[in-house]
Amino acid sequence: MPNYTRSDILSMAREQNVQFIRLQFTDMLGCVKNVEIPATQLERAIDRGAMFDGSSIEGFARIHESDMNLRPDLSTFAIYPWKHGERAIARLICDVCNNDGAPFEGDPRRILHRAVADAASMGYEVMVGPECEFFLFTQDQAGLPTVHTGDQAGYFDLYPRDHGEDARRDIVLALEDMGFRVEAAHHELAPGQHEIDFEYSDAMTAADNVTTLKFITKVVARNHGLHATFMPKPITGIAGSGMHVNLSLFSQGANAFFDQSALHGLSDTALFFIEGLLSHSKALAAVTNPTVNSYKRLVPGYEAPVYVCWSEGNRTSLCRVPSSRGANTRVELRSPDSSCNPYMAFAAIIASGLDGVRKQTPPPSPVRKNTYRMSPDERAQDGIASLPGSLSEALDWLAKDQILVSAIGEPLYHRFVKARRLEWEGYQTNVHPWELDRYLTTL
């Protein structure tokens, strides 16, 4: 994360001929919002923030307390790789504050600040590496998205089977132009499906990167005549899109998950963290998989995790420990998807893992079997539970998990649950095409 000063940003804005600055923030549901200001107001925004009406933003203030303030995080200054005529456009990601300057407790970024501070109080820095998957679909003649991919490529395929190769390459170039360090990009399992991975970073930078990736991907895709979607399961019968989250704790510059003398090379801290993820996994799903569609992805047979267990190399488990050791020792949580708000999701994940570290309870033995092929009785015998099968069930689990409710904070928790319950009720009360296909002519 760059350590920009006020003077640095003002100088860069002048030198790069920046005309507009987007003061960016994220609502409760993970949608990126912004207030755009001309460069003449940049100095004022850095010093005093920028006022906006929070009453119209999902999960923010009520109408009688609507005045809110955006306070830029100077480390997030970046210039977009496109211009308005000859003038550049930049962005600053902001923390949301109340009118009196106090942090707004309903700001998702504030939730992650608290989680990171909690880890720091225990002597840890949380490092995160998200792996974001998405689909590139064609558009119709009116420019509206379809669910046609235009290719039949699979894992790591390239042109001519991969029709999205040029768009994916331009997404990476745009991100690198903004100063991001992309580790890898490739075609994924399903036709039209892609993945872009960032290098490891601190948790806040990782969350900022996810929001930036989603925005840049959609813009570049549209410039290629394509539509990018991070919807978890847009097409029946093929793999859905996830956001695997790789995590490690560092203490005094060393990876706290690595212990060369221990079994599997994993420290007690790593094992306790894994147990925290497992024990909170059902409630955690409400935050990391927060849409009705999320649970169409979390089904057996499509490489998405369904069963609550951990392993070293077994990709049918919820938590996997990749083979790298030393400074690269990490735990991969495979359930999240990119429909989540990354600030809330990372905060909830951190709270879950740290709860395990505090309680110092080891996890069960790693599971080496293919959990998809195990019978219900076999899984029950091995103590392997299942993730929730619906958003409603996940919200029920969240309501019972005081660690996660506390991590989210009461104000945001209640607004989040209300919004997601309304989504579930809307889904439940609507008649869907599958029902018409199934029943209209047979009943």
Q: Which residues are catalytic?
A: 53, 131, 133, 188, 195, 244, 315, 332, 334
CB 68 within 8 A of CB 54: yes
CB 71 within 8 A of CB 95: yes
CB 98 within 8 A of CB 332: no
The Cα 378–Cα 349 span in angstroms is 28
- Which residues 6+ apart lie within 8 Å of 279 measured at CB? 352, 355, 356, 361
Residue 327 burial (10 A CB sphere; 0-12, 13-18, 19+): middle
CB 362 within 8 A of CB 274: no
- C-alpha count within 13 angstroms, C-beta hemisphere, residue 159: 7
For 25, the enclosing helix (H) or strand (E) is strand 18-26
- Which residues 6+ apart lie within 8 Å of 277 measured at CB? 284, 310, 318, 319, 331, 333, 349, 352, 353, 356
For residue 358 the two structure tokens come to: 């505090």
CB 304 within 8 A of CB 289: no
CB 348 within 8 A of CB 357: no
Computed over its alpha carbons, how large is the radius of gyration of the chain? 22
The stretches of 128-188 forming alpha helices (DSSP H) are 165-177
For 396, the enclosing helix (H) or strand (E) is helix 391-399
| CA 224 vs CA 133, 138, 371, 382: distances in Å | 18, 9, 40, 49
